Amino acid sequence: MQSSRRSFLKRTAVAGSAVIAAPTIISAKVFGANDRINAAVLGVNGRGKSHIKSFMAQDNVRIKTLCDPDMNLLIDRQKSFKETYNKDVGLEQDLRRVIDDKDIDVISIASPNHWHALSVIWACQAGKDVYVEKPGSHNIWEGRKMVEAAEKYDRIVQHGVQLRSSPAINEAIDLLRNGYIGKVYMARGLVFRWRGDIGDQGFSAVPNGIDYELWTGPAPKRPFTRNLVHYNWHWHWDYGNGDVGNQGIHETDLCMWGLDVGLPTKITSMGGKFLWDDCKEVPEVLTSIYKYPDEGKIIQFEVRPWCTNTEDGATVGNIFYGDKGIMVVEGYDKYKTFLGKDRTPGKSGEDGGPSGTGMDRGAGGTVGHFTNFIEAVRKHDKSILNGPVETAHLSSGLAHLGNIAYRLDRVLTFNPKSETFINDAEADKMLTRKYREGFEVPNNV
């Protein structure tokens, strides 16, 4: 087990806190249809609310614990949980105590990006199965460690790109594979989100109820600011990855899935901040190109923050280009095709299902993706996962490569086999980060 967690357990016992037994590797457990699965949700501010809803929609799954460094949020979620489901739920600020709770079988992770990979690794080491929000990792190196941990401890790890559970999108992928729009040579990812001026709120005292040490975790610890806690950490490099690593992971994943490619060999990015004089560190506008010379394929990816046009109706989605036509994927559960020079409308599909908003609606929304996860957990069969851990690493990695090219402002050459850059020590340093003591992603998981 990873040493920083051992040290934590020793310290808490010596200090007189509730004694927690040293973690042990738990053998794989196969659940029957009548066996209750106990779950915990880590991070309850944004996507965590959808995780709660999705767990509670599953048969014979009980949420035992909600976990977040902000006790104020936890108390609010506990109250709404009781009102919605007429059930009690436990609260915990420290994810290490949740991971060491032997009664908990599965966890979902909806914490900030800088916590994702380490949480997955710790959970795998403790014998738990995991659902992790996108992006799976904050950098490429730790994403590979996440894959290694899932394999070493034989754990079920599902990545939160729910469009992979969409029947319509799976139908679209089959059409691409079977040549419906011909030879597919290019994919275009679109992330046109309404992202406004966040200002600069400056530094302030840590509010009561927030454990800022735990919130910071593996990342560098800055003075507290509302510009980070809660949502706007997305726009700061130490914690988030910009919109290409936020909303964009759904689209990087689909670009790679549709083209049937892994990580590229040539990357270039250009963009910047053109609208707001605020404290965001990431670019508002970002255009990235990923080239696959050996496969004869290319990915174009564009992030826009404000007033914009649509592209064949899509503001968030993907466009695939073949020598016989194009395919447009809108959002998470809808596609349409146009064939030939005259753009004759071809096959199309949409999931439909219960009304809702964005990622949670339709047959392939978040609830459906959790259903696939729970089925894989019950059968202990990672082969039936729609969003397995390797895809989490690769789709996140594509976004990370684009960000590195942007920050270095040059064309980069990458070796997908070694997952390092070619003769570029400066770029290689950006494949990982320096972790804070006690929160290190281990080299040997």
Banded model confidence at residue 12, pLDDT cuts 50, 70, 90: very low
Q: Indicate whether 248 and 216 sit together in one domain.
A: yes
Tens digits of per-residue pLDDT, 248-268? 999 999 999 999 999 999 999
- Arithmetic mean of pLDDT, 391-406: 98
- Residue 39, SS3 per DSSP: strand
Task: Give yes or no: residues 81 and 171 share one domain.
Answer: no
Residues 205 and 310 grouped into a single domain: yes
Claim to verify: residue 83 and residue 123 sit in the same structural domain: yes
Q: Please say which residue of 100, 134, 163 terminates a domain.
A: 163
Q: Is the pLDDT of residue 355 over 70?
A: no
Domain-ending residue, one of 130, 163, 196: 163
Q: What angle do CA 430, 436, 439 make, to 5 degrees?
A: 105
Same domain, 14 and 152: yes
Percentage of the chain exceeding pLDDT 70: 91
Count of domains in the chain?
2
Is position 443 within any domain? Answer: no
Bigger pLDDT: 4 or 281?
281
Tell me: do 135 and 181 sit in the same domain. no
Domain that holds residue 132: 3-163
pLDDT, position 32? 74
Same domain, 219 and 99: no
Q: Are residues 159 and 171 in the same domain?
A: no
Q: Rounded mean pLDDT of the chain? A: 92
Do 18 and 148 lie in one domain? The reply is yes
284's CB contacts (< 8 A; 6+ apart) are: 195, 271, 272, 273, 274, 275, 276, 303, 305, 306
- Rounded to whole angstroms, the Cα distance separating 92 from 74 reads 8
Q: Which amino acid is at 68?
A: D
Q: Is residue 438 part of a domain?
A: no
List, for residues 53-102, the tens digit of each pLDDT value. 999 999 999 999 999 999 999 999 999 999 999 999 999 999 999 999 99
Cβ contact 41:67 at 8 Å: yes
Residue at 371 is within a domain: no
Any domain includes 121: yes
**Are 215 and 158 members of one domain?**
no
Q: Examine the fold and report which residue of 163, 186, 215 is the final residue of a domain before the chain moves on.
A: 163
Say if residue 57 is in the same domain as residue 196.
no
279 shares its domain with 333: yes
Average pLDDT over residues 398-408: 98
Residue 97 maps to which CATH number? 3.40.50.720
- Checking if the pLDDT of 17 tops 70, the result is no
Residue 25: predicted pLDDT: 52
For 194-232, how does the pLDDT look when each residue is reduced to its tens digit (9 = 90+)?
999 999 999 999 999 999 999 999 999 999 999 999 999
- Residue 362's pLDDT is 53
